[in-house]
Amino acid sequence: MNLTPYSKVLIQGFSEYITANHVAQMKANGTNLVAGVNPGFGGQQMYSLPVFDLVEEVVDKFGVIDTTIVCVHPYQVLDAALEAIASNIRQIIIISPGVPPLDMVQLLRKAEAKETLIVGPNSPGIIIPGKILLGTQPSEFYTEGKVGILSRSTTLTYEIARELTDAGLGQSMSVSIGSDAIVGSSFLQWLQILDEDEATKAIVLVGQPGGDREEAAARYIAEAIDKPVVAYVAGREAPPAKHWRQTGTLAAVIGRDPDFGTAKNKLAAFSFARVPVAERPSQIPELVKKAMRV
Amino acid sequence: MNLTPYSKVLIQGFSEYITANHVAQMKANGTNLVAGVNPGFGGQQMYSLPVFDLVEEVVDKFGVIDTTIVCVHPYQVLDAALEAIASNIRQIIIISPGVPPLDMVQLLRKAEAKETLIVGPNSPGIIIPGKILLGTQPSEFYTEGKVGILSRSTTLTYEIARELTDAGLGQSMSVSIGSDAIVGSSFLQWLQILDEDEATKAIVLVGQPGGDREEAAARYIAEAIDKPVVAYVAGREAPPAKHWRQTGTLAAVIGRDPDFGTAKNKLAAFSFARVPVAERPSQIPELVKKAMRV
Amino acid sequence: MDLLEYQVKEWFANIGIPVLPSQRIDHPTDLKRLKIRYPIVLKSQVNAVERAKVGGVRFVGTTIDAIAAARSIFNLPILGQLPEVLLAETKYETEQEFYIAVVLDTAVCRPILLGCTEAMDIDWDSADEKMHYVVVEQEFSPFYARQLALKMGLQGALIQSVSTVVEKMYHLFVEKDLDLVEINPLGVSASGQVMALNGSVSVNERAIGRHQNIADMAETMVNHNTSSDTIRNSGNWDVVEMHGKIAILGNGAGLVMATLDLVINSGGKPGVCLNLRHASVTETSPTTFKSRLEKALKNIASDKSIQVILINFLGSISQGSEVSQVIGEFVESSMSEAQLFMAKSNGGKRRENNFPRLVVRLAGSEFDTARKDIAALQTPTDTSITVVENLDEGVAEAIRLAKSTASRRF
Amino acid sequence: MDLLEYQVKEWFANIGIPVLPSQRIDHPTDLKRLKIRYPIVLKSQVNAVERAKVGGVRFVGTTIDAIAAARSIFNLPILGQLPEVLLAETKYETEQEFYIAVVLDTAVCRPILLGCTEAMDIDWDSADEKMHYVVVEQEFSPFYARQLALKMGLQGALIQSVSTVVEKMYHLFVEKDLDLVEINPLGVSASGQVMALNGSVSVNERAIGRHQNIADMAETMVNHNTSSDTIRNSGNWDVVEMHGKIAILGNGAGLVMATLDLVINSGGKPGVCLNLRHASVTETSPTTFKSRLEKALKNIASDKSIQVILINFLGSISQGSEVSQVIGEFVESSMSEAQLFMAKSNGGKRRENNFPRLVVRLAGSEFDTARKDIAALQTPTDTSITVVENLDEGVAEAIRLAKSTASRRF
């Protein structure tokens, strides 16, 4: 992980999901955004960034690029990410939603072989308030502090940051791994990073229905995480999805649980792991304070 | 490289290119041949070898397998080799000729990523006389000694071993990298191995028309090989192939040479690298003796 | 998107998976021009595993019987669906029946191969003991299919014949961007020949746009089958249909669900809940945030059971500056509609009351102007639109309004 | 195997590479039923880059001119070939013409993308300065095609339009197992639209067997075009045709070539030289070593210019034990043929002399029995077959025999 303000950052593609405002915010938050890549537009400027046709041109000009923020059309995400990997970029944050899952399978096979971190797709990225912003998280809801936020939502993540900030609890880092069914980095990886991060004193984990990522996280918290964790799961009142075909996980076929993928199941897992769970976003600050014994 | 008699060896497929005689020879030469894999024939015996349906079954039963000898139908070579790689086999010798080149491209990409040695296709493999035989080289033409043979032919390799043996010059190792246009291991890799091999005191390099492997080898010999090398190139009188499309190498397009791929070109490269070249197979022993100052 | 059996079998035949000779029947009289030999089986083309149990599958030996059976199947609704097409297929004698499938496993982020030596009457409860699987860790190669065959306990020539079918299913899976391809049952004859007797295919909605032929199929199917079920089942929660009076619009699926929870926990009843952050997976033409908001407001306004629309936007939205404009236009068009109605019906209060009340929660500096503009809008009911920054407040206000308008509604 | 232009363009159209409206013309009168608009270009469907220079390409504006031009092209041999088909194609106005190709590079063991902003009249001598290339190191992804476009110096929208064509060429290359796919020229119109005006496709011979449709095409083409040129050009030396009297059969391409060199260096003249180690790449049905040897001997015996057959086998051969049997049967059938001929022509010595002399070099213990058996065979000329173990000896004997029989031949 290289999340220092010196690390060089690239944007690939300028779609609906990245606006002039996002670019300006990244710059304002200390991100060393060096260029954009948009084939056919090389030599132009976009949101005050120099634009190139190829990633390799950017590397030729600026040297090693640490992170790329991929905002191309969902059908071009695989190609853009493979281009980044071929140019030795080791951190890839995919903002675009709607990437076909089999493209993600192909990308993850390659990323694993090349030890490349993939965050997303359908992720607003990572923010370390006051230090770096990699993605589209709105920094205005954040303030420097000690709480790490880990989620797979977009706006719900900001909602929680806003509640914490309003309650006087700043954040050390906030990451959304992305809300698609198949995403790169896992809750487990980030729990470990937050557990090791000196600035982080407590972790808020934000879940939603689908898959079994929250359940895996709950088990991991019970086993390996020393810092206090508070959980919140949205969608506990939402009607459940139908059966394993739709939830699409092996766990649902082999040794399946009728509640697989539901918020109910996730809440039970947190409860079993003795992780305090907030009823609503506005209750989170209170539980965090209690957990941190502030 | 693991070429010790203790290393465990597997045969995948029993086609025209591997006979009972080959299997018996391998065993007689000390090769620790543990099993064969032939889907649909699991549980049977073939040439006194237990046969399994899957490579992973062999690994489950015998532990790590060092080398596999692939003799399946050419259209199944890619699958067989990928199955071996998935079972962590790191040395793959492909006997079968006629593998479609794009299958080899796919296999080589994978093998490079997994640091797997591929010898062949269309190769009779490797023999260390008196120690191990991996493939179909006829051991009767070989005898223990100090000369390493490196070629991309099949029977021409044995012809030369026979000449050396008749002249009282034993062999330390003989490898054919395979006569197909696209093969795994290169002359360069094996020149380096033979150069480092303590038993080897001189090297005979056997070439034939097509590609530019001999030229690359000649350059490498001039630069990096300390042991004496004698070359022989077959086909100097054969009519030349037509143009770059057929020889199919970039070198032939970019900075191309009208003699690209011809024996003439190869002979010139050896001459430039001051490698003595035999006129005929029967002249090789004399040149080797001269080079070794025996 | 789930294909019908006859579509699945066309795909199977094209990729070389063995299927029986069959013929599509659009009308009972098509059976007079049957090109396959009796006895045949007639199957209702609906997506329901219960089809055989309720009489949607019939064996017939003569044209007369076939036409009669076809008439009855065409008129037999299964799970509320009437078939538009039947499939007439040769009968096949099986010795054994297997279940095989390729499915995308979102937990391991890989496709998995599934197999079982019993055909499954979807007795999924006991499936975990009998079902075998192989995770396709790296790029597929036929050995993965042989691993499945071995795990299923197959031997001899069946290893190759079954794994060849699995291999072709995998190629279909990748070529067409599927979530699932399933053969159930795969019939095995006494001589060891295999045959796909029935099959299911589910296409991933997100990838439809890059397959022209599938997009064409989808267009036809959406017309018949626009249920929100289909959308919810695709595994994302961008549309949740409930039956209360408070519609929820948000920019983010998690946020919409959190809002839904808050409404229910505070004693309210949500109606349709929509995430407008990105285009629906079934949307074929490109959309903008603005166009999605316009469309959502229009659709909700036409649903007379909705009395309050709770809008919850937070953070940055492309075209966020246009939110107040879209809401303004929506309110204005509702007003002119109401006036038109009043003019026509010589002034009535009934219609005015049907204009849903709006609670708009906007958080973030991007909406500083929008908040003021929306608060200043004139509404048909002359009440101002509630604009808040705090979510709990917005929820409370929506519930209060839903309760207060409830009495006036009918 | 090289496709003809009209076949190439069918493939291009199927995979989405832009081609002009065109029509296949099997006979000049087909032009009366032309579905495309004049002016058109008529092109002789032969594989020769020189086609345009020698009059195989003609622009015509009317049906009368078209029929006259077609008649003359159908009767114009190019490099010895008469076209069986012409291609009639719409005329296209280009602003620029590019060269692009995908080719398998055996040196780097990867496909490479080639591009040049000049169409190439196969001026390959200056190609190295103008030609740009990209090695497709890992699995292909469109960015490789964009890299080529950039290297070619393209800008703006042309980057995407050219790289999209390259991307489709690459997919064709992999799908059909090609050695080469080339567009030359790729026309670029004033508006930036690209068009494949001419193209070449070369299918890898080894992979034909796994593509049923290509195998079918190959069958038709082999009938017209069985030249040893085609075989030699495929880059392996399993068949070398020279014009001397000594045929060479060996089990290994390198060994056959070494034998060929020895014959020439010792003053002999090789005729056809065949490697029997494996099946020819153009062979569609499975063969055995035995069947290949039988076929080779039979073919050589029918070639009256061959006076000596030098067989050089060494090491292990599957079915090696049958070598003496096949040679025995060959000698026997030659004898009975000779006797039959003698009977018919009332005894003549002429025919006997035409039986080629055999020199058999067998090295390895596998042939211990064969050597004895062959040496004991009775031949039509009553001379025994020379059997040796040493290669130089065998070559010397073959040359001696070729010289001694030479005087008797004509």
Cα-based torsion angle of the residue sequence C188, C190, C192, C194 in order, rounded to the nearest 10 degrees: -30
3-state secondary structure of D338: helix
**B16 or D367, higher pLDDT:** D367
CA dist., res. D333 & res. D13, Å (int)? 54
Whole-number Å distance between alpha carbons of C4 and C45: 6
Best of C140, C141, C159, C167 to substitute, by most chain B Cβ atoms within 10 angstroms, is C141
A105 reaches D (C-beta below 8 A)? no
Asked whether the predicted pLDDT for residue A123 surpasses 90, the reply is yes
Mean pLDDT of B23-32: 94
Residue C329 or D335, more confident: C329
Residues in chain D within 8 Å Cβ distance of A86: 137-138, 143
pLDDT value, residue D288: 85
Task: Work out the pLDDT band at A244, boundaries 50, 70, 90.
Answer: very low
* Per-residue pLDDT tens over the stretch B86-138: 999 999 999 998 899 999 999 999 999 999 999 999 999 999 999 999 999 99
- CA atoms of D100 and C82, how far apart (whole Å): 54
- Give the distance from residue D1's alpha carbon to the nearest chain A alpha carbon, in angstroms: 32
Query: What is the number of residues in chain B?
Result: 294
Q: Which residue of B has its CA nearest to C138?
A: B86
| A98 contacts C206? CB cut-off 8 A | yes
Determine, for residues C258 and A156 on separate chains, whether the beta-carbon distance falls below 8 Å.
yes
Q: Shortest CB distance from D261 goes to which of B16, B22, B234? A: B234
Name the interface residues of C facing B (CB cutoff 8 Å).
137-139, 141-143, 146-147, 150, 155-157, 159-160, 163
> What's the confidence (pLDDT) of residue D336?
73
CA distances from B144 to A263, B77, B141, B172 (A): 72, 32, 10, 6
Query: Which of D3, D106, D313 is most worth mutating to test chain B (most B CB atoms within 10 A of its CB)?
Result: D106
Chain C residues within 8 A of A265 when measuring between CB atoms: none
Among C184, C53, C192, C199, residue whose Cα is nearest residue C117: C184
**Contact in structure between D19 and D12 (CB atoms under 8 Å):** yes
Q: By the CB < 8 Å criterion, does A217 face chain C?
A: no
Comparing A276 with C408, which gets the higher pLDDT?
Answer: A276
How many Å lie between the alpha carbon of C201 and the closest alpha carbon of chain B? 26
Of the candidates A40, A54, A83, which has its C-beta nearest D157's C-beta? A40
* Token pair for A266: 């996730």
State the Cα–Cα distance between residues B187 and B221, nearest whole angstrom: 10
- Residue D32's pLDDT is what? 92
* Chain B CA closest to residue D312: B155
Q: Does the pLDDT at position C31 exceed 50?
A: yes
Q: How far apart are CA C12 and CA D223, in angstroms?
A: 34
Pair of tokens at residue D135: 């090695």
Integer-rounded Cα radius of gyration of chain B:
19
Look at residue D234 and give its three-state secondary structure.
coil
> pLDDT at position D144, please?
98
Query: How confident is the model over B281-286, as a mean pLDDT?
Result: 97
Choose among D143, D150, D157: nearest Cβ to A79: D143
- Residue D78's DSSP bridge partners are D81
CA–CA distance from A39 to each of A34, A109, B97, B131, D220 (Å)? 17, 25, 43, 58, 44
Q: Do A54 and D141 touch (CB under 8 A)?
A: no
Within 8 A of C159 by CB-CB distance, chain B residues are 39-40, 42, 53
Residues of B in Cβ contact (< 8 Å) with D234: 246
The tally of CA atoms less than 13 A away on the side-chain side of residue A184 is 30
Please name the member of A122, A246, A250 whose beta carbon is closest to the beta carbon of C133.
Answer: A250
Rama region for C91: left / alpha / beta (φ>0; ψ in -120 to 50; rest) = beta
The closest of C98, C71, C92, C94 to C83, measured between CA atoms, is C71
What per-residue confidence (pLDDT) applies to A172?
Answer: 97
CB-based contact C143 B86, cutoff 8 Å? yes
Q: Which residues of A touch D150 (CB under 8 A)?
A: 42, 53-54, 57
E strands, B191-241, where?
A: 202-207, 229-233
**Cβ contact, residue pair A54, D147, below 8 Å:** yes
Distance CA D44, CA D196 (A): 17
Cβ–Cβ below 8 Å for D159 and A86? no
Q: What is the per-residue pLDDT for C235?
A: 43
Q: Which of C141, C147, C155 sits opposite B54 (nearest CB)?
A: C147
Q: A195 and chain D: CB distance < 8 Å anywhere?
A: no
Using CA atoms, how far residue D318 sits from A127, B48, D309, D315, in Å, is 68, 18, 22, 10
Mean pLDDT confidence for C286-292 = 84
Q: Which of B40, B56, B82 minimises the CB distance to C159?
A: B40
Mean pLDDT of chain C: 85
Instruction: Judge: B235–D262 Cβ closer than 8 Å, yes or no.
Output: no
With contacts defined as CB-CB under 8 Å, which chain B residues touch D210?
A: 75, 100
Interface test with D, best of A79, A89, A116 (most D CBs within 10 A): A79
How far B210 CA sits from the closest chain D CA (Å)? 7
In this structure, what are the phi and psi dihedrals at residue B123, rounded to the nearest 5 degrees? -125, 140
Contact D150 A82 (CB under 8 A): no
Chain mean position to CA C312: 25
Q: What is the pLDDT of residue A155?
A: 94
pLDDT value of residue D233 = 36
Is B55 an interface residue toward C (CB < 8 Å)? yes
For the segment C350-365, the average pLDDT, to the nearest whole number, is 78
Residue C284's pLDDT is 59
Under the banding of pLDDT at 50, 70 and 90, the label for residue C121 is low
Contacts of C160 in chain B (CB under 8 A): 39-40
Enter the tokens of residue D44.
């002789």
Out of A277-286, C266-275, D72-81, give the one with best mean pLDDT: A277-286
* pLDDT tens for each residue of D345-366: 554 444 445 678 899 999 998 8
Pairing of strands A45-46, A117-119: unpaired
- Cβ contact D124–B250 (<8 Å): no
Residues 114-133 of A with CB under 8 A from D: none
Q: D257 to chain A, minimum CA–CA distance in Å? A: 43
pLDDT band at C241 (very low <50, low <70, confident <90, very high): confident
Extract the residue ranges of chain D whose pLDDT is less than 70: 120-128, 222-237, 279-285, 337-354, 380-382, 405-410
pLDDT band at C108 (very low <50, low <70, confident <90, very high): confident
Cβ distance D143 to A86 less than 8 Å, yes or no, reads yes
> Given this model, what pLDDT does residue C408 score?
47
CB contact under 8 A, C206 and A99: yes
Tell me if chain C has a CB within 8 Å of the CB of B103: no
Residue B79: closest CA among chain C residues belongs to which residue? C141
Partner C contacted by B5 (CB < 8 A) = no
The amino acid occupying position D34 is L
Query: How far is CA A179 from each of CA C233, C283, D273, rounded to the nearest angstrom?
Result: 16, 19, 66
Give the span between the Cα atoms of C42 and B6, in whole angstroms. Answer: 63
Average pLDDT over residues A210-239: 93
Which residues of chain B have a CB within 8 Å of the CB of C146?
39, 53-54
Phi then psi for B252, rounded to 5 degrees? -75, -20
- What would the mean pLDDT of B65-69 be, rounded to a whole number? 97
pLDDT tops 50 at residue B8: yes
Q: Is there a contact between A253 and C258 if contact means CB atoms under 8 Å apart?
A: no
Residue where the block lists tokens 């009977």:
D343
pLDDT for C14: 96
Structure confidence at residue A247 (pLDDT): 43
**Res. C409: pLDDT tops 70:** no
Is A48 in CB contact (< 8 Å) with chain C?
A: no
Best mutation target, A12, A38, A55, A82, to test chain D (most D CBs within 10 A): A82
Categorize the per-residue pLDDT at C11 as very low, low, confident or very high, splitting at 50, 70 and 90.
Answer: very high
Mutate to test the interface with A, among C1, C106, C131, C262 (most CBs of A within 10 A): C106
pLDDT confidence bin for C335, thresholds 50/70/90? confident
Size of interface B-C (CB pairs under 8 A): 41
Give the contacts of D71 (CB within 8 A, at least 6 positions apart). Answer: D28
